[in-house]
């Protein structure tokens, strides 16, 4: 059997022996602010994290595992009467359980919808498109979108590029942070910390193909239990994602704490980094060339001897007591 190039699972202690170390420079398929990227040396199997919200019990073990593995220190905040803690994603909290209470108009049931929020690892990442710093954001051939903090300049353009409102810029070191899909674990054959810690297997990890197959099973099961609109959230608008959800109400993602119904990179961002950029730079370049050409070939506007004579004559006339 061929050696796996990506971990296939996040369950306890998957074997690391015989695993081909991955996520090196040869595995990068997109690099921020870089046009001519050398082609990747190989093609890794796409991986994905599947979050089955119907199995989530809201225990926040995933958040704890994330803090533990990434060694972050989210501030202790005040309880404002909801379970969500901290109150938002922060530079120190890459994943967050968002709790929503939804009144189902069809059944009259009050449903408690819990969604683990965090980077979706888009196939077409808006953050990477918006980033001005070469190599601050990379995408690997297995689908992971990762921030390289050595190159981050802290401008926050990734925040504007992201259709999911995920990256956060630290007020301490002025660098942007988000979920890495545990790229440092995946690189050595381990699944993400959150998936490993999840007690109900609401979070699973493996190849994207396997995760889609697992999701399909789950959707069949949910439908048999009366959730007719159950489905997989793998939005096409961003080319699909490497973090996917199984939703019991996949027809209305927004009820899950404002999950985007049809996410896509904003046309404003495309215009900013696309047509207006080309047009603006071309106009400035043309103007520079045109003035240079006129300067070299055209005639300068010089003061003539005549002008000088007229001016002197005029001054003489104006002089008090001067010649009439």
Partner 1 sequence: MSDPAAIEQGDEILPGNPPRVVRYRGATRLNHWITAACMVLLLLSGVAMFWPPLFFLTALFGGGQTARFLHPWIGVTLVISFAVLARQFWRGNLWNRTDLDWTAHMGDLVAGREEKMPEVGKFNAGQKFIFWSMALLILAMLASGVVIWEEYFGGMTSIPIQREALLVHWLGASLIMLVLILHIYAAIWVRGSFDAMIRGWVSPGWAWRHHRLWFRRLAARSADRGDARV
Binding site for partner 1 (CB under 8 A): 33-35, 130, 132-134, 151-157, 159-160, 165, 169, 171, 174, 266, 268-269, 271-272, 276-277, 279-281, 283-284, 287-288, 291, 294-295, 298-304, 307-312, 314-315, 318-320
Show Cβ contacts of residue 17 under 8 Å, excluding neighbours closer than 6 positions. Answer: none
Select 3 or 296, whichever has its Cβ closest to partner 1.
296
Instruction: Tell the smallest beta-carbon distance from residue 195 to partner 1 (Å).
Output: 28
Instruction: Tell the smallest beta-carbon distance from residue 152 to partner 1 (Å).
Output: 8
Instruction: Tell the smallest beta-carbon distance from residue 233 to partner 1 (Å).
Output: 21
CB atoms within 10 A of CB 81: 5
Q: What is the DSSP string of 115-131?
A: EEES---BSS-HHHHH-
Instruction: Tell the smallest beta-carbon distance from residue 254 to partner 1 (Å).
Output: 16
Select 100 or 155, whichever has its Cβ closest to partner 1.
155
Select 228 or 308, whichever has its Cβ closest to partner 1.
308
Q: Residue 52 burial by CB count (10 A; 0-12/13-18/19+): exposed, middle or buried?
A: buried
Instruction: Tell the smallest beta-carbon distance from residue 227 to partner 1 (Å).
Output: 32
At CA 212, angle to CA 228 and CA 179, rounded to 5? Answer: 105
Among the listed residues 7, 44, 43, 54, the one whose alpha carbon sits nearest the alpha carbon of residue 233: 54
Select 82 or 279, whichever has its Cβ closest to partner 1.
279
- d(C-alpha 8, C-alpha 6), whole Å: 6
Which tokens belong to 260? Answer: 């985007």
Select 20 or 311, whichever has its Cβ closest to partner 1.
311
């Amino acid at each position: 059997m061929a050696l796996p190039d990506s971990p296939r699972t996040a369950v306890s202690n998957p074997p690391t022996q015989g695993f081909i170390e991955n996520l090196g420079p040869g595995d990068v398929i997109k690099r921020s602010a870089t046009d001519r990227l050398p082609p990747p040396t190989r093609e890794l199997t796409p991986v994905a994290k599947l979050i089955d919200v119907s199995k989530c019990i809201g225990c926040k073990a995933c958040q704890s595992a994330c803090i533990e593995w990434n060694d972050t220190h989210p501030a202790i905040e005040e309880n404002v009467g909801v379970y969500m803690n901290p109150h938002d994603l922060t530079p120190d909290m890459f994943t967050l359980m968002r709790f929503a209470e939804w009144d189902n108009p069809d059944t009259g049931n009050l449903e408690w919808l819990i969604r683990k929020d965090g980077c979706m690892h888009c196939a077409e990442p808006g953050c990477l498109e918006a980033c001005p710093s070469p190599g601050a954001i990379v995408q690997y051939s297995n689908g992971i979108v990762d921030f390289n903090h050595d190159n981050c300049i802290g401008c926050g353009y990734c925040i504007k590029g992201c259709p999911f409102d995920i990256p956060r810029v630290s007020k301490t070191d002025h660098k942007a942070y988000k979920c890495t899909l545990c790229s440092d674990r995946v690189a050595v054959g381990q699944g993400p910390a959150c998936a490993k810690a999840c007690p109900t297997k609401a979070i699973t990890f493996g190849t994207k193909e396997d995760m889609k197959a697992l999701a399909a099973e789950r959707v069949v099961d949910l439908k048999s239990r009366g959730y007719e609109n159950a489905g997989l959230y793998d939005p096409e608008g961003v080319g699909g994602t490497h973090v996917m959800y199984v939703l019991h109400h996949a027809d209305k993602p927004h009820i899950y704490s404002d999950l985007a119904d049809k996410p896509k990179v904003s046309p404003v961002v495309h215009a900013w980094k696309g047509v207006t950029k080309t047009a603006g730079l071309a106009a400035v370049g043309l103007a520079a060339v045109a003035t240079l050409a006129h300067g070299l070939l055209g005639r300068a506007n010089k003061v003539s001897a005549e002008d000088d004579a007229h001016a002197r004559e005029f001054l003489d006339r104006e002089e008090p007591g001067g010649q009439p």
